[in-house]
Structure 1
Amino acid sequence: MTLSSTLQKAFAPTGVLRASINLGNPILAHRNASDGEPGGVSVDIARELASRLGVGITFSAFDTAAKSVETVTNEAADIGFFAIDPLRGAGIAFTAPYVLIEGYYLVRDDSPLTRNDEVDREGNRIMVGKGSAYDLFLTRETKRAQIVRTESSQAVVEAFLRDGLEVAAGVKQQLEADAARTPGLRLLDQRFMVIQQAMGLPKSRGDEAAHFLREFVEDVKRSGFVASALSRHGIKGASVAPPSQA
């Protein structure tokens, strides 16, 4: 596929595609034990995009979604991988989601809480990773419980235990992994949200680039690329998003 120089410039104004990677979501990204470089589903997708654009790629990895969003919004990176949220959409043009991930609550075994609708009550404190998709969602939706924020999604359960809070919120797989290492914890039995993971680029890059990225995401879903990446990295509990109806 031959791309216009205008489109290449929109995606890679420095000559290489600069991808912002959020390591705070272990389903989609991690550091490789062998070399410390970013790896995972989102890294594979970024490399595929760079290949189709005919440019090289560099990665900036962050431990929180908020830092990753800020980097793309400020155009210190050209693309990123984020949960869709209206607040983030002010400066970023999103694609449709490529992966769907479940958000869950975690409590202690002796907690009286057994259902999601019992969480948003006076006296309950919910620990979240600052700036995460579920932080933004719960900040909008929670009416009575108190939201308490820690520096990253990986630190949620540790901070929840240390500070004696009633509830921890997060991505199901991260909470399950933390609970497996720490006896006496359990997840409530239903998800409280579905996190729509999408790609995005600065809105200033224009409609042509935004359209190309949307079509790219639809293609990697349709072709099986995303499903293969999830399988290759051993990811459970996340699913390929359905085709966009837009």
Structure 2
Amino acid sequence: MTQPQPPLPLAPALVAAFAPGGTLRASINLGNPILANKDAATGEPVGVSIELAREFARRLGVAIELVVFEKAAASVDAVKNEKADIGFFAIDPARSDGLLFTAPYVLIEGSYLVREDSALTDNAQVDGAGQRISVGSGSAYDLFLTRELRQAEVVRLQGAAAAMAALRSGQVEVAAGIRQMLEAEARREAGVRVLPGRFMVIQQAMGTPASRGAEAQALLAAFVEEMKASGFVADALARHGIEGAIVAPAA
């Protein structure tokens, strides 16, 4: 891994745009274990998004505060409402109002989970009359499927665990989610399987409130590009044992 270069001095106004109170508040979503988790020993948040947040705060020369949420929608709202200064979310048109995004730093697959006895064998078969698909409310795949599905019904529940439980209980025919989480559920207990392939690619990016301005967005975007090019993101994924997610290509 090539070490990131030391940061150039930043204008005080630009630092203040990200940390008006002198501390960078980073919104962290624990609902996506590809990016963030709790350390089993300490209970503290760990993962690639936490490492990016800490490195960005170091670049700014300010302290870091992690503002932790269990769901993506709450994490997004915190940044939109300026309860946090940066966040880590999937890029989606439904989230564009009030937020400025970078290019993605990680790509993740969205897939479907069905019961073993389901007649479904292909992603294209899922959007059919009478099919109910459970999703974590406000997730990237909820937003995507709400736009794209024409016949199937989206059933919104409080988080990925509830969405997968709804499939096992027969409340729905399909559960949508991050492929790695669905595969883990299939390994946990027999009775369900993941359909081959994917129905979407989730583009995980950094974002900041739109009020912070174009110059702040440009700085954050340049930071993300450097973190990809230097190997920082790939190294963090490997260190936390994340499989399946890939570093996004250069913007």
- Unpaired runs of 5+ residues, structure 2, are 1-7
Q: CA deviation at 1:153?
A: 2.0
Runs of 4+ aligned structure 1 residues displaced above 3 Å come to: none
- For residues 61-76 of structure 1, the aligned pairs below 5 Å read 61-76=68-83
User: Hey, what's the Cα distance between the residues in 1 that align with 2:180 and 2:124?
Assistant: 21
Give the one of 199, 203, 207 matched to 1:192. 199
- Deviation digits for residues 49-96 of structure 1 (CA, Å, limit 9, x no counterpart): 001111110111111100000000000000000000011111100000
User: Hey, what's the Cα distance between the residues in 2 that align with 1:150 and 1:38?
Assistant: 24
- The SS at the match of 1:148 is strand
User: Hey, what's the Cα distance between the residues in 1 that align with 2:164 and 2:16?
Assistant: 43
Q: CA deviation at 1:163?
A: 4.3
In structure 1, what is the equivalent of residue 97 of structure 2?
Answer: 90
- Contact map agreement 2:168 2:192 (CA 8 A) in 1: no
What letter matches 1:32 in structure 2?
Answer: D
- Contact map agreement 2:115 2:167 (CA 8 A) in 1: no
- The SS at the match of 1:90 is coil
The normalised TM-score by structure 1 is: 0.98
Q: CA deviation at 1:30?
A: 0.6
The reply to whether residue 148 of structure 1 matches residue 155 of structure 2 is yes
Give the one of 122, 125, 130 matched to 1:123. 130
User: Hey, what's the Cα distance between the residues in 1 that align with 2:162 and 2:23?
Assistant: 33
User: Hey, what's the Cα distance between the residues in 2 that align with 1:111 and 1:48?
Assistant: 46
Give the one of 222, 232, 241 matched to 1:234. 241
- For residues 1-246 of structure 1, the aligned pairs below 5 Å read 1-244=8-251
- The SS at the match of 1:33 is coil
User: Hey, what's the Cα distance between the residues in 1 that align with 2:51 and 2:169?
Assistant: 36
User: Hey, what's the Cα distance between the residues in 2 that align with 1:63 and 1:155?
Assistant: 13
- Contact map agreement 1:64 1:153 (CA 8 A) in 2: no
- The SS at the match of 1:87 is helix
User: Hey, what's the Cα distance between the residues in 1 that align with 2:128 and 2:189?
Assistant: 26
> Bigger shift: 159-168 or 169-178?
159-168
Q: Number of residues paired by the alignment?
A: 244
User: Hey, what's the Cα distance between the residues in 2 that align with 1:31 and 1:74?
Assistant: 25
- Contact map agreement 2:114 2:167 (CA 8 A) in 1: no
Q: CA deviation at 1:116?
A: 0.7
User: Hey, what's the Cα distance between the residues in 2 that align with 1:207 and 1:165?
Assistant: 43
User: Hey, what's the Cα distance between the residues in 1 that align with 2:116 and 2:235?
Assistant: 36
The normalised TM-score by structure 2 is: 0.96
Instruction: Determine what percentage of the aligned residue pairs are the same residue.
Output: 61
What letter matches 2:180 in structure 1?
Answer: Q
Q: CA deviation at 1:198?
A: 0.2
User: Hey, what's the Cα distance between the residues in 2 that align with 1:237 and 1:198?
Assistant: 17
Q: CA deviation at 1:155?
A: 2.4
- Deviation digits for residues 79-128 of structure 1 (CA, Å, limit 9, x no counterpart): 00000001111110000000000000010111000001110000100000
In structure 1, what is the equivalent of residue 3 of structure 2?
Answer: none
- Unpaired runs of 5+ residues, structure 1, are none
What letter matches 2:48 in structure 1?
Answer: V
